[in-house]
Amino acid sequence: MATLAVLFVVVLLINLAPAFAPPTWMAMSWVGFNVPGGNPFVFALVAASAATIGRVILATLARVLVRSRLIREADRQNIDVIKARLKKHRTMTAGAFFFYALSPFPSNYLFIAYGLSGLPLRAVGAAFFIGRATSYSLWAYLGRFAAMRLDAETQFEGGYLSGYFVVTQIALLALVYALMKLDWQALLEQRKLSWRRPVKPIEQTEHGKSTPR
């Protein structure tokens, strides 16, 4: 039970981080390697639950703090264009989260971007949980498989804070910003890729007429 509790807390903290957290699959491989007598499926369910809770909280914070307080109204209206499109394809969106969760790729930016839309998180959270439980089971089994064939003193080499990891995290966060600034109405309606231009403030002239600055 102590191992499961530690695993839950560690995975939860990893998935609460918006960036630069180690990938959860490394923790699953480590558990499978160092606790070969445990049940990989149980480990996967615990880790998937913690990962889903962490990502849902992260998406909620993106909605409450960033969307509601930190971004401009024009940017919110721009995001609402893609929000309306996602509403019409909820099953497809949940399916995309499921298949993405099967991969070892980081999901922090995915939930941050989805949180900015303000859409409900229940369906995508459930899909993410099922996908992560499946992929984490695989990593835990691989870790146990390696423990049976490698020296117990063997350590996994390489740190997660490699140059590649840092550059990737920065690039993914930049992608979230780019998605927020992309003109979604032009892209969806005109098939035109362009940046959303900031609205110029209006000032009053001496005769009471409004003119853009």
pLDDT single digits (tens) 62-88: 998 888 777 778 778 878 887 888 888
Instruction: Give the span between the Cα atoms of 209 and 205, in whole angstroms.
Output: 5
Q: Tokens standing for 93?
A: 């969106």
Q: Tokens standing for 9?
A: 């807390």
In sequence order, the β-bridge partners of residue 210 are 204
Query: What's the confidence (pLDDT) of residue 152?
Result: 42
Q: Tokens standing for 10?
A: 């560690």
- With a pLDDT cut of 70, the percent of the chain lying above it is 73
CA 52 vs. chain centroid, Å, equals 10
Domain boundaries of the chain, sorted by first residue: 2-196
- What is the average pLDDT across 28-39? 73
Which of the four pLDDT bands, split at 50, 70 and 90, describes residue 155? very low
Cα–Cα nearest to 84, from 177, 188, 182: 188
- Comparing 14 with 192, the larger pLDDT belongs to 14
Backbone angles phi, psi at 212, to 5 degrees: -70, 145
- Rounded to two decimals, the pTM is 0.73
CB-based burial of residue 108 (10 Å sphere; 0-12 exposed, 13-18 middle, 19+ buried)? Answer: buried
Query: What's the confidence (pLDDT) of residue 156?
Result: 44
What's the Cα-to-Cα distance from 5 to each of 11, 35, 57, 118, rounded to whole Å?
A: 10, 14, 19, 31
Cα–Cα nearest to 180, from 196, 201, 200, 198: 196
Which of the four pLDDT bands, split at 50, 70 and 90, describes residue 168? low
